[in-house]
Amino acid sequence: MLQMSNWIDKFKKLVIPSHKKHILIADIDNLFEYEELGHAFESDGYTIQIAKTDLEGRLQFELFNRDTEKLLLVVPVSYYPLPDIEMQVHYQAIGLYQLFPNLDSKAIKGLSYNALCLLSKIKVYEKLGYEKTVHFLLENLYNIDFSTLISGNAKEKVLNALISVMLEKNGVNLQLKQFLSDFAKPYFPSLVEKSLNKANLIDFIQEQWDGFVNYGDSILNFKDSTLTKSIGFLFAFGYLQPIKVTDERYEDFYRPFKIGLYVDNQESNDNELVGLIEYLGQEVEVIEDVADQWFNIIQVLSKAKLKYLQTNNFQLKDNYSQIEDQVNERFQRFIENTYNSQFSLTGIRKPIVVSRILEHLKASPTKRKALIVIDGMNYWQWSLLGCALSSIGLEFSPNASLAFIPTITAWSRQAIFKGDKPDLEADNSKEKSLFYDFWMKNGLSSYQIDFKRIGVNDPFDISSIAEDIKILGMVCNDLDNIMHGAVLGDDQLKASTIQWIEKSKIVDIISELKRKGFHVFITSDHGNIEAYGLKNLTLKEKVGALGRSKRHLYFTNEILLNNFVEQNANVTIGKKGLSLYLKNKEAFTTENNKVITHGGSHIWEVIVPFISIDE
C-alpha cells in the first residue's frame, strides 16, 4: 500500500463519496497535473479520464460510464453536469483553497509536489493574504528569515536567499519567482532584467567570482559570512568553476573560499579536496534523517573520493578518510532511525528504495523505457561513468536510491526486478521472470518486454531489440566481477572502472538505446567499499549461517544469531531480521587484508545511483 502525502489524503476524503461509484471533479487548480494524485486514485480502483471541454466531458461520461466500475472524470471548471448525469455521479469543484484554507491559493499554485507535501505538514493558525503567504513560503519551505533579509549586508543576504530558493530547495513557482525578481531588482538589476532563472543566476555569480578573484572587482562582498556556506555549496556541486591563480594569490586568499581557486592541476585537485572536506564537515553536523539530503551529500562525497584517489598528499588523504568515517557514522543513525519506513513511500516521483524503481518507470509517460542495472557500481564509480557520458554531450539527471540491506546481489537485485521486497529464501536466478511478471501484471504483453545480460564478453546488439519492445531490462555483472578481484583496493578499482567504461562500450550502448527512442535509466543493486580484514570466521561461528559474505551473515534462527553477537561484542554489527551485517569498514577475512566487497550498510554500499538520461 502506498503512503500518501497529507494533502492527497485530504483530497481523497473530500471527493470520494460513500453512496455513488463515479466522481466528476472540476479541477480548479490543475492538481491532476501531479502524477501522484492520479496514481492515488488508480490504486483505489478508479479509471481516470480527462475532459478538456464541456462537450468532451459529456461524451466521455457516456463512453465510460457503463463499462467502468469506478470512473473519475476530470472536467473543466465551467462544466456542471446535467440532471441525468448528476443523478449518477458525485460532483465536486475542488482546488487548493479546500486543501490549504488558511493560505492564499494563488500564491501556492504551481509549487512542486514535494513543496506541497512539506506544506501540508505545517499548521497555519490564521488566514494569510497573498503577500503574507509568500513570506510564509519563504520562511517555512526555504528557511529564509524574511524579517532580517533587508537588514545589514542586504545584498549578500538577498543573493543567499536566491541561491537557496533557485538552487538548493524544492524548486519555485511563478509567483515566488516574480516576488524574488521584484525584491532582488534594486540589488541586482542586470540579473533580473536578463530573467531570474537557475542558469542566469549561476552565470551571474561566476562572473562576479571571476571579477573578484582576478581584479578585486565585484558588486558582492564574498568575504561576508552570509555567503560562506552557499558559495561552498555551489563549488561542491560543480555549479561554479574554480579559477587559476598564482601561489601568492592563493596563499593570501580567504580560506573558506579556496575551494574556488587552484594553482596547477594537482594543486587544483588538492584545493578542491580541502574545500570539499570542509563542506562535508559542515553538512554532517546539520544533516537530517531525510533521504533527499543523503542523496545530495553522496554526490559531494563522490567528488571528494575521486579527488582523494588522485592526491599524493598523505595528510590530505588522512583528513578525507576521517570525514568519510564521520559521514558514515551519521549515515548509520539514518539507517537505524528511518530506513525501514522508506519502503512504504511511493516511488512515483522518485524511488527512495530500489524496490520502488519499477513503480517509478511505470509512472514515466515515455513509451519505451530501458533499465540498466550495473551490478556492484558504487556512487563514485558512477561519477566516472557520468563524466564519460557528459564528454559526448549526453545529459542526465543524477539521483540515488537505497539498496536492500544486507547489500547482497541475491536480495537487492531481486528487489529491483521484482518491484517489491525480495524473497529472502530465494536468490536472483529468477529475476528475468520476476521482471516479466511485474510488467505483465501492469498491462504489457510478453512480446513487449525484453531482458538482456550484457558485458565485455557479452556485447550488446541493438538490432536484437524488436520495435515492439516497450520495456527493456538489462544486467551487467562486469563491475561486480572486477570489484571482487581488486586486491589493491580503490586505486585499482578506479583504474579498472575507467578501463571497463571504454572496453564495455557502455556509453555507446546508452547512446544507441536513446536513439532508438528509449528513456534510459541506470542504477545498481548495491555499491562496494574498500574494507580491512577483521578476522576469519571460525567453524563454530559459521554454524547455522544459511548465507554469508565478507560483510554479512544470514542465520537459521535467532538463537544462533544472538550467540554470534555475544561472541563478537567488540564488533559494530547491524541486525535486520535473521541477518547481521557490518556497518563500518571491516570484513570477515584474514586480519588486515585489504578487500573490495559489499554486504554491509556502509554509505558506499547502500546509496546507489539512480540516473535518468535526459530525453
Per-residue CA distances from 355 to 129, 437, 521, 569 (Å): 43, 14, 15, 32
Q: For residues 274 and 137, what is the distance between their CA atoms, to the nearest angstrom?
A: 35
Residue 111 inside a domain? The answer is no
The enclosing H or E element of 275 equals helix 265-286
> Coil, strand or helix: which one is 180?
helix
139 and 261, same domain (yes or no) = yes
Residue 440 inside a domain? The answer is yes
Helix, strand, coil fractions of the chain, as percent rounded to 5: 50, 15, 35
C-alpha torsion angle, residues 575, 587, 331, 172 (rounded to 10): -110
378 and 469, same domain (yes or no) = yes
Residue 121 inside a domain? The answer is no
Q: For residues 487 and 319, what is the distance between their CA atoms, to the nearest angstrom?
A: 24
280 and 145, same domain (yes or no) = yes
Residue 402 inside a domain? The answer is yes
Q: How many CB atoms lie within 10 A of CB 318?
A: 10
Nearest residue to 224 (alpha-carbon basis) of 143, 282, 156: 156
Residue 109 inside a domain? The answer is no
Nearest residue to 243 (alpha-carbon basis) of 268, 222, 219: 268
- Pick the last residue of a domain from 298, 321, 338: 338
284 and 202, same domain (yes or no) = yes
* Tens-digit pLDDT profile for residues 433-465: 999 999 999 999 999 999 999 999 999 999 999
205 within 8 A of 224, measured Cβ to Cβ:
no
CATH number of residue 345's parent domain: 3.40.720.10
Residue 126 inside a domain? The answer is no
525 within 8 A of 403, measured Cβ to Cβ:
yes
- Give the model's pLDDT for residue 252: 82
* Tens-digit pLDDT profile for residues 203-246: 999 999 999 998 888 999 888 888 888 888 898 888 999 898 88
Q: At 304, list the grid cell.
A: 571528494
Q: Which domain holds residue 588?
A: 533-597
489 and 576, same domain (yes or no) = no
Q: For residues 477 and 558, what is the distance between their CA atoms, to the nearest angstrom?
A: 33
Total length of the chain:
615
Q: How many domains does the chain have?
A: 4
229 and 377, same domain (yes or no) = no
286 and 386, same domain (yes or no) = no
Q: For residues 98 and 79, what is the distance between their CA atoms, to the nearest angstrom?
A: 19
Residue ranges in the chain modelled with pLDDT below 50: 1-4
- Pick the last residue of a domain from 308, 338, 368: 338
Look up residue 3 and give its DSSP letter. Answer: B
Q: At 485, list the grid cell.
A: 578481484
138 and 245, same domain (yes or no) = yes
368 and 285, same domain (yes or no) = no
Full DSSP string of 212-274: HHHHS--SS-TTSHHHHHHHHHHHHTTSS--EE--HHHHHHS-GGGGGGEESSHHHHHHHHHH
547 and 559, same domain (yes or no) = yes
Site of grid cell 505483465: 440
Q: How many CB atoms lie within 10 A of CB 33?
A: 12
378 within 8 A of 483, measured Cβ to Cβ:
no
198 and 309, same domain (yes or no) = yes
Gyration radius of the chain's alpha carbons: 27
C-alpha torsion angle, residues 528, 530, 532, 533 (rounded to 10): 40
> Coil, strand or helix: which one is 528?
coil
* Distant-in-sequence, close-in-space partners of 600: CB < 8 Å, separation ≥ 6: 406, 407, 529, 551, 552, 574, 581, 582, 583, 584
289 and 183, same domain (yes or no) = yes
CA angle 181, 186, 188 (to 5 degrees): 70
